[in-house]
Structures are given as C-alpha cells and as structure tokens.
Amino acid sequence: MPVDILVGTQWGDEGKGKLIDVLTRDCDMVVRFQGGNNAGHTVEIGSDKFVLHLVPSGIFRPGVACIIGNGVVVDPVALTAEMRDLEKSGLDVSAIELSDKAQLIFDYHRQIDGLKEAAAGTGKKIGTTKRGIGPAYSDKADRCGIRGWMLKKPAELEKAFREQAAKYNDIFVARGVEPIDIDAAWAKVADAAAYLTPRVTDTVVSVNNAIRAGKKILCEGAQGMLLDIDHGTYPFVTSSNTISGGACTGAGIAPTHIRDIWGVLKAYSTRVGEGPFPTELFDADGEKLRQIGHEFGATTGRPRRCGWFDAVASGYSCMVNGVNKLAVTKVDVLDQMPEIKICTAYELDGEILHSVPSSADDLARVKPVYETVPGWMQDTTGCTCYKDLPENTKKYLDRLAKLVNSTVAIVSVGPKREQTFSAE
Ligand code: GDP
Ligand code: IMO
Ligand code: MG
C-alpha cells in the first residue's frame, strides 16, 4: 500500500516541512489535507530558506505532484502570491493541483477572525494566526462556503463572493467597524482566480489514480495533534482535524490504503498562541530553548512558548495518530543542556494522571511530574548517522520512544536536509 501520512504530534512547528522535503526524495506525490495558510513549513536547501504556507513541501523535488486537497481551506490570493514567489525563485509550480472541493478563504473571513479575537475577554482569546481559518471552516459546516471549482467560473464566483461579502459587511457595520471594500477585494480574487484556474482539478480522482498506479504518496499534515479540533486542547485549537485520520476525509483516501504514520516529534515542546501548556518554562532554560532553537513563528513571527518534553501529551498524540515511525527533530537544540527534564505524568488535585484531561481548565491546572536525565553537552549538528550520536542522546531518544510507545525511525540534528539520518 503506497500511502504514508506525516503529522505533527505536538502543538505544531515540529519540523514537518523539513521532514516532508527529506521523505519526498522517494515519493511521487505529496498531499496537504487540512489547515490553510495558518501553517508555516520551513524547508532549508543549501543556503536558501523557504517558508511554505499552502504549497506542499514536496515542491522542491522535480517531478513530485503537489496536491492541495479538499480538506484544506485556501485563501486564493495568498496561494497565488506564494506560487508567484516560488516561480520567481526559479521553481516549477506546474505540478500543483488545487482541489475543486477545497473551501476558499476571503478578506471577510480574515477580518471576522481578527474581530472575534479582539472581542474575546480575558482567558478566551485563542491567539489565532488571523488568517480566517476558523471562520472559513465555520462557513463550510454552515454550508455557505465557496468551493474551489468556482475559481473556474468567474461569473458564479463573483455573485457568490459579493453575496457572502455583503452578509459579512452587515455584521461589520453592526459592530461599528469598517466594512470590507467589496470591489477592491473582488479585483484581487478575480486576478487570483485567473491565475489558479488551470490548477483546479478533482484531486480525489488524481490521488486515487496515483494509488491505483502504485505511486508512492505522502500526506502532509499541518499544525499538530494537540491543536486538533476534536482531540486537542479545545477550545485552544485550530478548526480542522490535524490527526492522521484527517487525511482520509481531507484527501479522499480510503483507510485501507494507508501504510505508515510518521509522527514528527520535537525533542522538547513549543506552543504558539494561547492555551494550556503544562511543561512551559518561564525561566532561563525556556529562553535558552527559544534562542538556540530559533523558536519564533514561521507564519506570524510570534515568539513560541517553550518547555520540556511532555510524554503525557505526546503519548496521547501518538496513540490517537497511530504513529509507527517517529521522526525526532531539533535534538541538537538540547546539546547545551547539562540536565534535561521529561514530563512523565501530571498531578491534578493530588491525583496522578497519565492522559490529557479533556477540560482545558483542568489541563491548565496540572503540575508536571518530571524525571531528570543527564544531557550530553556535545555538538550533535555534525552527526551523520545514528552511531555518531553521544550515548546520552541515544538514551534520551530511547526513553522518549518508550514513553510514547513508538519507534524512532529518523533523527534530525539541524534544519538542513543533510542533518537527518535513519535511527537504524
Ligand atoms: P513545521 O511547521 O512543522 O514545518 O515547522 P516550522 O518550519 O514551523 O518550524 C521548525 C523550525 O525548525 C524551522 O525553522 C526549521 O528550519 C527548523 N528545524 C527543523 N528541524 C530542525 C532540527 O533538527 N534542528 C534545528 N536546529 N532546527 C530544525
Ligand atoms: P504548522 O503547520 C503552530 C495555532 C495558532 C493558535 C491556534 C488557532 O506550521 O505547524 P488558527 O489561525 O489556526 O485558527 O489558530 O492554532 N496554530 C499553529 N501553531 N503551528 C501551526 O502550523 C499553527 N497553525 C495554527 O497559533 O494558537
Ligand atoms: Mg510551522
């Protein structure tokens, strides 16, 4: 069976983009299946650094088909800008296909996203990326969203866009804020529609034809399991199913075709935006992780909150995702830590917990139970194979794998393609 799925096992930014780029060396097709341009997937090739938001991270491998599936919410203006930028860098974007069922994001979604955040009281703000993701998925569920196929029918698109925009403008006016300039917004959408039209297809057919032809397909998750709308730290989550199962609905792939589930696991924890984060560090160690790990958002530039590895949250995540192959990233960021802590359980009101409480309020109150392991205090960035790693690094990786009940298959010790090797 040729379909593998790669997902983030924490709160996003685990290094999925880098891993997709590495793994597509042996792939024919990469498929994004959820999220939108809230994602920021970094790929470093030589001295070039690219941050992808909607374009699948397989784009740097010539001949690899790049699919933006039906489960993705697509801002057509943002996608057009991203593709034009890639073209300017000399990349061929003709292998990109955009699902005719993908939901489209427009200016009014972004504006309402920002307004809701601004209006949210203390403790209610989610800290969204303000890309209109939640409102676009709301319109989808409310059955008033506009889908990809309309990009090919400008007259119908314009009518639907103007109707929806007018509806949202009524809300803006009622709230005393500036309505969007519908004519100006339409001009940008019309330009994007003209650019994207040749790329719009029934991607479910493309993907399933590739499966039948025995092609090797990799599905690219965005965000991370703990931001999943059902299984994450609700309501401090994104608005899609980020787990591996989301690939079936978001790309139109039957579960019987799935082979491996890759879980990308950062060697410590980070989170951007609001919401509970049991192992968050507010001390010098947290700042050290942020500085050495360059933990600043790839989409919004916000500093990422940093903390120790949380085996309760990540173990829960690996279970729900069914991760059978771990890619452990950013191991090098721990190189200068004399001691490393791992959260192995939570304590809540005197009780020891081994799974993640469903109430965000309870999760915010848990105290992490830590075990402390010795660091390795050696530079791992030059390691090129597993046996090069210091003994304490290997022990740390073994411990993480045991705690999350999975197997380390790949280790990453830097942002470059070459700084990646098999754990065998
Ligand atoms: P994604 O959203 O999961 O694709 O991750 P991001 O691109 O948002 O953030 C990961 C960051 O870590 C990027 O800047 C990567 O270039 C970088 N990165 C990936 N793997 C490693 C690694 O093993 N070590 C270090 N030091 N950086 C890494
Ligand atoms: P990648 O794919 C990290 C977070 C936001 C916010 C919450 C909801 O790069 O790992 P949204 O705009 O989706 O409604 O925001 O989700 N978030 C991410 N955090 N990495 C991401 O993507 C994220 N995409 C959304 O910060 O807390
Ligand atoms: Mg990211």
Q: What share of the chain is helix, strand, coil (3-state, %, to 5)?
A: 40, 20, 40
Q: Do domains 104-196 and 265-422 have the same CATH topology?
A: no
Both structure tokens of 304: 């990422």
Q: What is the per-residue pLDDT for 1? A: 57
Both structure tokens of 75: 């801002």
- The atom number, within ligand 1, closest to the CA of 222 reads 2
Ligand 1 centroid distance, CA of 10 (Å): 13
Both structure tokens of 399: 């411990």
Protein residue closest via CA to atom 5 of ligand 2? 128
Ligand 1 centroid distance, CA of 370 (Å): 25
Protein residue closest via CA to atom 16 of ligand 2? 238
Per-residue pLDDT of the chain (424 residues; tens, 9 = 90+): 589 999 999 999 999 999 999 999 999 999 999 999 999 999 999 999 999 999 999 999 999 999 999 999 999 999 999 999 999 999 999 999 999 999 999 999 999 999 999 999 888 999 999 999 999 999 999 999 999 999 999 999 999 999 999 999 999 999 999 999 999 999 999 999 999 999 999 999 999 999 999 999 999 999 999 999 999 999 999 999 999 999 999 999 999 999 999 999 999 999 999 999 999 999 999 999 999 999 998 788 889 999 999 999 999 999 999 999 999 999 999 999 999 999 999 999 999 999 999 999 999 999 999 999 999 999 999 999 999 999 999 999 999 999 999 999 999 999 999 999 999 8
Which among 4, 13, 75, 139 is annotated as catalytic?
A: 13
Q: What is the per-residue pLDDT for 424? A: 83
- The atom number, within ligand 2, closest to the CA of 129 reads 12
pTM, entire model? 0.98
**Residue 41 exposure: Cα atoms within 13 Å on the Cβ side:** 31
**What number does CATH give the domain 3-100+201-261?**
3.40.440.10
Listed by start position, the domains of the chain span: 3-100+201-261, 104-196, 265-422
- Counting ligands in written order, the one closest to the CA of 277 is 2
Class of domain 104-196: mainly alpha
Which architecture characterizes domain 265-422 according to CATH? Alpha-Beta Complex (3.90)
Both structure tokens of 105: 């994001």
Rounded Cα gap, residues 42 and 19, in angstroms: 10
- DSSP assignment string, 291-319: HHTT-B-TTT-PBPEEE-EEHHHHHHHHH
Ligand 2 pocket list (CB less than 6 A): 8, 11-13, 38-41, 126-129, 131, 133-134, 222-224, 227, 238-239, 272-273, 298
Q: What is the per-residue pLDDT for 2? A: 87
- Does residue 41 carry a catalytic annotation? yes
Ligand 1 contact via 8 beta carbon (within 6 Å): yes
Compute the chain's Rg from CA coordinates: 21
Cβ atoms of 151 and 193 closer than 8 Å: yes
- Counting ligands in written order, the one closest to the CA of 383 is 1
Q: Classify 83 as helix, strand or coil.
A: helix
Ligand 2 centroid distance, CA of 125 (Å): 13
Q: Classify 346 as helix, strand or coil.
A: strand
Residue of 34, 330, 379, 380 to test ligand 1 pocket, by largest number of atoms within 8 Å of CB: 330
Cβ atoms of 230 and 293 closer than 8 Å: no
First to last CA, the chain: 23
Which among 4, 21, 28, 41 is annotated as catalytic?
A: 41
Q: What is the per-residue pLDDT for 13? A: 97
Ligand 3 centroid distance, CA of 35 (Å): 12
Both structure tokens of 88: 């300017």
**CA–CA distances in Å: residue 184 to residues 218, 261, 373:** 38, 44, 58
Cβ atoms of 164 and 106 closer than 8 Å: yes
